[in-house]
Amino acid sequence: MNIIYEPWPWYVGGPLIALVMFLLLFAGKKFGMSSNLRTVCAAMGAGRTANYFDFDWKSKRWNLMVVLGAIIGGFIASNFMGDSRVGIHPKVAQQLSEDYQITSAGEGYMPPEIFAVDALDDPFIIAVLLIGGILVGFGARYGGGCTSGHGVSGLSNLQIPSLIAVIGFFVGGMIMIHLLYPLIFR
């Protein structure tokens, strides 16, 4: 039974992600974790300002339930399902500590240098998190999906648009990590 408490390898996690997609398909819905952002904006009254949010958001309440579930799932997994230290390749860990003084690889799930509450004393960290979020939200809605909607659902359905989007995800990520990180996190 220890296997549940250890980090799950890719060949366990990947098939389970596919299972989640199929469960949602059987329920008559679609697997995609960013459309809920539009639903939340609409529920907060954004329909008064932009047409894009002027729809019957109550018909999309199901995806808010999935979000609530994801929050509960994160709580359960982090508190009751064992060790959450993430070990990455030693070379990448070393590079992180040498280039960006992020020395916490292997010690936790997230780097406290960015995600600890204390780190929020630094306005720079707040800006990184906020701008990162803005790009994620804007890009996901502009591109019509995220890693789940395009990366898993769309590719599984052999959608060319999803392949283009996934290539975009990767291009953007590579530009950020290899060209912009050295400028941002000096």
Partner 1 sequence: MRYITYLSIGILFGIIMFKSEAASWFRIYEMFHFGSFHMYGLMGSAVVIGIIGVQIIKQKNIKTIDGEKMNLKPKDLSVRRYLFGGTIFGLGWALAGVCPGPMYVLAGAGYISILIVIVGALIGTFLYGLLKKKLPH
- Residue in 2, 121, 160, 186 binding partner 1, rule: CB under 8 A: 160
Q: Is 103 in the site for partner 1 (CB under 8 A)?
A: no
What is the closest distance, in whole angstroms, from the C-beta atom of residue 109 to partner 1 in the complex?
5
Tokens of 59: 């018909």
What is the closest distance, in whole angstroms, from the C-beta atom of residue 101 to partner 1 in the complex?
14
What is the closest distance, in whole angstroms, from the C-beta atom of residue 87 to partner 1 in the complex?
8
Tokens of 100: 């960006």
Q: How far is CA 122 from CA 75, 117, 172, 180, in A?
A: 27, 10, 26, 19
Where are any strands of DSSP class E within the chain?
Answer: none
- Residue in 1, 2, 48, 89 binding partner 1, rule: CB under 8 A: 89
Q: Is 182 in the site for partner 1 (CB under 8 A)?
A: no
Could you say which residues in the range 10-49 bind partner 1, by CB under 8 A? 10-30, 33-34, 36-38, 40-41, 46, 49
What is the closest distance, in whole angstroms, from the C-beta atom of residue 186 to partner 1 in the complex?
15
Is the separation of the CB atoms in 82 and 4 below 8 Å? Answer: yes
Q: Which is nearer to partner 1, 56 or 160 (CB)?
A: 160
- Identify the three-state secondary structure at position 123: helix
Is the separation of the CB atoms in 115 and 126 below 8 Å? Answer: no
Determine whether 173 is exposed, middle or buried from the number of CB atoms within 10 Å of its CB (0-12, 13-18, 19+): exposed
Q: Is 139 in the site for partner 1 (CB under 8 A)?
A: yes
* Nearest alpha carbon to residue 140 among 24, 61, 39: 39
Q: Is 62 in the site for partner 1 (CB under 8 A)?
A: yes
Number of residues that bind partner 1 (CB under 8 A): 128
